[in-house]
C-alpha cells in the first residue's frame, strides 16, 4: 500500500511528475472512477477473477488519487480515509465488534438502516433530516431511482404488493401512448417516458431484481443476438444495412429461435 501511495505522490510531483496526472482535479477524475467501478462489475459478471484483480487495483488507484489531491489541499490524506471507513464499519456492526445481538440477516438490515438514519440525523444538526438527503444525484439514473423508492418505502410510501406496481406500469405506458397520439412536444414525451421508466424500476424493486444489472444483461443479450445475426448475414453474403426491415426481422427471429433451441 505504501508503494502505491509513493507512486501517486511521484506522479503528482510538481517538479518531476506526469503532466497528465498533475493537471487532474476531483471533477476530471470522477468520470474515470465511475468507469472503473463498472469495469469491476463487468469482470464479476463475466466470472473473470484475473480481470477482477486488475480492475480492483484500478479502482483502488482512484481512491489513492483523490486522497493525494485532498492531501495537497490540506483537507485529508489516505490514512484519514482508512480511519473513517474503519470507524464507520465498527460503528455499524455492534453485533460483531460490540455487545449487540441480531437474530438473522433481516434483523441486521433493520439495524443497519437504523444506524444510517442516526448518522444522517447527526449530519443534519438542528435541521430535520430528510429521508432522501444523501441519495447522491451523480448515481446512474436507474440506481438512484431504486434508492429513492427504497427510502420512500421505509416511510410507508409504497405499493402493498406487486400487482399495484404492474398496474402503474400499464398506466404510465397508456399515458405515453396518449401523448404520442396527441403529437406533443419533446418535453412532454421525455416526462412521460421518464415516468414509465421510474415505474419499471419500482417493479424491479418489488420483484427483488436489481434494475441496473437486469438492463446490463438485456444489453448483453441484445449484443449477442445482433452479432449472431451479423454472422448469419455474412454467411449468406448479405449486408444488414441493405437487407430491409422484413429480412432483418426474419434473421432476428431465426437467431432467437436457434438460441432458445440450444438452451
Residue 53 CA to residue 248 CA, distance in Å, equals 40
Maximum average pLDDT range among 47-56, 85-94, 107-116, 223-232: 47-56
How much is the pLDDT for 201? Answer: 96
How much is the pLDDT for 128? Answer: 65
Higher per-residue pLDDT: 127 or 253: 253
How much is the pLDDT for 133? Answer: 83
How much is the pLDDT for 263? Answer: 42
Residue 243 CA to residue 10 CA, distance in Å, equals 56
Kindly give the residue spans of alpha helices, DSSP state H, lying in 125-185.
141-154, 162-182
125: confidence class by pLDDT, cuts 50, 70, 90: low
How much is the pLDDT for 174? Answer: 96
For 149-208, the pLDDT digits (tens) are 999 998 899 999 999 999 999 999 999 999 998 877 788 899 999 999 999 999 999 999
How much is the pLDDT for 19? Answer: 96
Nearest-CA neighbor of 67 among 57, 80, 54, 56?
80
What percentage of the chain exceeds 90 in pLDDT? 60
Cell (9 digits) for 18: 506526469
Q: How far is CA 185 from CA 110, 174, 180, 196, in A?
A: 45, 17, 9, 17
- Are the C-beta atoms of residues 149 and 201 closer than 8 Å to each other? yes
Is residue 109 pLDDT above 90, yes or no?
A: no
Is residue 126 pLDDT above 70, yes or no?
A: no
For cell 477524475, name the residue.
29
- Are the C-beta atoms of residues 50 and 34 closer than 8 Å to each other? no
Give the chain's mean pLDDT: 90
Is residue 262 pLDDT above 60, yes or no?
A: no
How much is the pLDDT for 15? Answer: 94
Is residue 113 pLDDT above 80, yes or no?
A: no
What percentage of the chain exceeds 70 in pLDDT? 95
How much is the pLDDT for 216? Answer: 87
Higher per-residue pLDDT: 12 or 242: 12
For 60-82, the pLDDT digits (tens) are 999 999 999 999 999 999 999 99
For 10-31, the pLDDT digits (tens) are 999 999 999 999 999 999 999 8
Amino acid at each position: 500500500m505504501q508503494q502505491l501511495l509513493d507512486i501517486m505522490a511521484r506522479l503528482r510531483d510538481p517538479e518531476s511528475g506526469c503532466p497528465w496526472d498533475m493537471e487532474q482535479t476531483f471533477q476530471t477524475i470522477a468520470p474515470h472512477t465511475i468507469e472503473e467501478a463498472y469495469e469491476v462489475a463487468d469482470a464479476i459478471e463475466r466470472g473473470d477473477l484475473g480481470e477482477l484483480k486488475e480492475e480492483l487495483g484500478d479502482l483502488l488507484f482512484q481512491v489513492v488519487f483523490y486522497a493525494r489531491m485532498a492531501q495537497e489541499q490540506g483537507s485529508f490524506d489516505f490514512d484519514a480515509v482508512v480511519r473513517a471507513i474503519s470507524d464507520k464499519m465498527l460503528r455499524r456492526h455492534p453485533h460483531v465488534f460490540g455487545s449487540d445481538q441480531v437474530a438473522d440477516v433481516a434483523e441486521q438490515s433493520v439495524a443497519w438502516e437504523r444506524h444510517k438514519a442516526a448518522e444522517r440525523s447527526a449530519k443534519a444538526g438542528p435541521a430535520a433530516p430528510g429521508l432522501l438527503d444523501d441519495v447522491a444525484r451523480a448515481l446512474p439514473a436507474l440506481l438512484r431511482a431504486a434508492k429513492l423508492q427504497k427510502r420512500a418505502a421505509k416511510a410507508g410510501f409504497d405499493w402493498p404488493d406487486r400487482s399495484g406496481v404492474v398496474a402503474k406500469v400499464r398506466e404510465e405506458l397508456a399515458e405515453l401512448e396518449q401523448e404520442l397520439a396527441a403529437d406533443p412536444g419533446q418535453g412532454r414525451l421525455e416526462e412521460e417516458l421518464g415516468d414509465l421508466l421510474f415505474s419499471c424500476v419500482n417493479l424491479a424493486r418489488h420483484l427483488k431484481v436489481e434494475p441496473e444489472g437486469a438492463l446490463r444483461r438485456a444489453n448483453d443479450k441484445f449484443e449477442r443476438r445482433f452479432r449472431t445475426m451479423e454472422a448469419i448475414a455474412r454467411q449468406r453474403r448479405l449486408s444488414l444495412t441493405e437487407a430491409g426491415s422484413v429480412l432483418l426481422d426474419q434473421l432476428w427471429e431465426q437467431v432467437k429461435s436457434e438460441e432458445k433451441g440450444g438452451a
